[in-house]
Amino acid sequence: MKILVGLSGGVDSAVAAYLLKKQGHEVIGAMMSIWDGSIAAPKITGGDACLGPEEDDIASVKKIAEFLKIPYRIIDCRQEYKNVVLENFKNEYKSGRTPNPCVWCNTYIKFGVLPQAAKRTGISFDKFATGHYANIKYNDSLKMFQLCKAKDQKKDQTYFLYRLNQKNLSETLFPLGELTKSEVREIAQAAGIPVAEKPDSQDFYCGDYNDILQFKTNSGDIADKNGKILGKHNGIWNYTIGKRKGLGLSGGTKEPLYVINILAKQNVIVVGEQKDLYSSKLTAQKVLWNSIAAPKTEIDVMAKIRQQHAPAKAKVTALENNEAEVVFYEPQMSVTSGQSVVFYDNDVVLGGAIIK
């Protein structure tokens, strides 16, 4: 097959391209460029981030492509990234919600704009591949492609990929799905791929999110659940549910205080005790069932409410307007508006939605 591989300059995508080439496929590399230089990003220390100066990544992609003897293109995705991912990021923070830019980047840019723009430059290909840790399997009885967890559970990235639809899944390959990260590093070292020691991307941006948001200060109150004012904030976007440090409250309470609610309309941050962070229920919007037909009745799933969350047993019921109610068997900590809730049945991703 002719396969377009999303190259980031990192070890995972380099090994993905290497393995596909070794299997005898014709491989073409494509790096999406998303950085327009309009943000005063700090110099990166340790780790790596997706959004930031790209010269080093471009140089790595060039080195990798030359080493693998494959052609490559740098694809300009800056405008779409700005219009979709950064706009969503800003709007969500402005509304007192905590967005997940990786979900939008994967859904619309990496698996959408990047391969489409590559096609427009005249490259033809049968499949698109990335170095994500995830699997795609075809379920014969359902006649559907299913997104499944990676073998390396610690590296599994399905939480960020649940919005890929059947078309995406049918056109995509994840060559690293059955490998562990250490196996991938060993393959890179054994093959002499020039990026074997490059660190993993840690976050979507390594600096202060205010560099991107650039909102004017909008002070308001920090209050307890009874409305008693305990302090001031500079803007609700600096807070997320469960935040404890840096609240700048003078203290005096027996228990540590956490952000338990963000009231955007009132411009108020509500704080409470850890026990106030637990909830048994959430409503989610923009529901997408990507690996099964939309269930007509309530179903049991394992629901994951952020990348670091251990999925918890829950019932999902469809509501009107493409929304769903998720009721957990046990209360869960820090359910956060704007984050995704992803539904699993063992290793299969059934779908997911955005927490309201």
Ligand X SMILES: Nc1ncnc2c1ncn2[C@@H]1O[C@H](COP(=O)(O)OP(=O)(O)OP(=O)(O)O)[C@@H](O)[C@H]1O
Mask: binding to ligand X, 104-133, rule CB under 6 A, as x and -?
Answer: ------x-------------------xxx-
* Long-range contact set of residues 175-178: C-beta below 8 Å, sequence gap at least 24: 175/15, 175/16, 175/19, 175/20, 175/129, 175/131, 176/12, 176/15, 176/16, 176/19, 176/131, 176/132, 176/133, 176/150, 177/133, 177/134, 177/135, 177/136, 177/148, 177/150, 177/151, 178/135, 178/150, 178/151
Smallest gap from residue 232 Cβ to ligand X (A): 37
Smallest gap from residue 83 Cβ to ligand X (A): 17
8 is in an annotated binding site: yes
Instruction: Establish if 31 lies at the interface with ligand X (CB under 6 A).
Output: yes
Give the residue with the Cβ less far from ligand X, 56 or 255.
Answer: 56
Considering only 4, 27, 28, 32, the residue that binds ligand X (CB under 6 A) is 32
Q: Hey, which residues between 130 and 189 contact ligand X (CB under 6 A)?
A: 130-132
Smallest gap from residue 111 Cβ to ligand X (A): 9
d(Cα 71, Cα 5) in Å, to the nearest integer? 11
Nearest residue (beta carbon) to ligand X: 10
Give the residue with the Cβ less far from ligand X, 5 or 262.
Answer: 5
Mask: binding to ligand X, 34-53, rule CB under 6 A, as x and -?
Answer: ----------------x---
DSSP 277-339: GEEEEEEEEEEEE-SSPPPSS-EEEEEE-STTSPPEEEEEEE-STT-EEEEEEEEEE---TTS
Q: Are the C-beta atoms of residues 262 and 270 closer than 8 Å to each other?
A: yes
Give the residue with the Cβ less far from ligand X, 169 or 287.
Answer: 169
Q: How far is CA 166 from the centre of its chain?
A: 19
95 is in an annotated binding site: no
122 is in an annotated binding site: no
Give the angle subtended at the CA of 239 by the CAs of 236 and 244, to the nearest 5°: 140
Q: Is 105 a catalytic residue?
A: yes
Smallest gap from residue 266 Cβ to ligand X (A): 37
Give me the phi and psi of 151, to 5 degrees please.
-60, -40
Considering only 95, 165, 180, 201, the residue that binds ligand X (CB under 6 A) is 201
Give the residue with the Cβ less far from ligand X, 178 or 255.
Answer: 178
List 77, 105, 148, 206, catalytic entry: 105
Instruction: Establish if 101 lies at the interface with ligand X (CB under 6 A).
Output: no
What burial class does residue 296 get, using C-beta atoms within 10 Å of its C-beta: 0-12 exposed, 13-18 middle, 19+ buried?
exposed
Q: Hey, which residues between 1 and 30 contact ligand X (CB under 6 A)?
A: 6-8, 10-13
Considering only 56, 87, 200, 255, the residue that binds ligand X (CB under 6 A) is 200
Give the angle subtended at the CA of 292 by the CAs of 165 and 104, to the nearest 5°: 30
Smallest gap from residue 305 Cβ to ligand X (A): 20
d(Cα 326, Cα 341) in Å, to the nearest integer? 9
251 is in an annotated binding site: no
Residue ranges of the annotated binding site are 6-13, 32, 131
Residues assigned a catalytic role = 105
Q: Which residues are annotated as a binding site for ATP?
A: 6-13, 32, 131
Binding residues for ligand X, rule: CB under 6 A, are 6-8, 10-13, 31-32, 50, 110, 130-132, 200-201
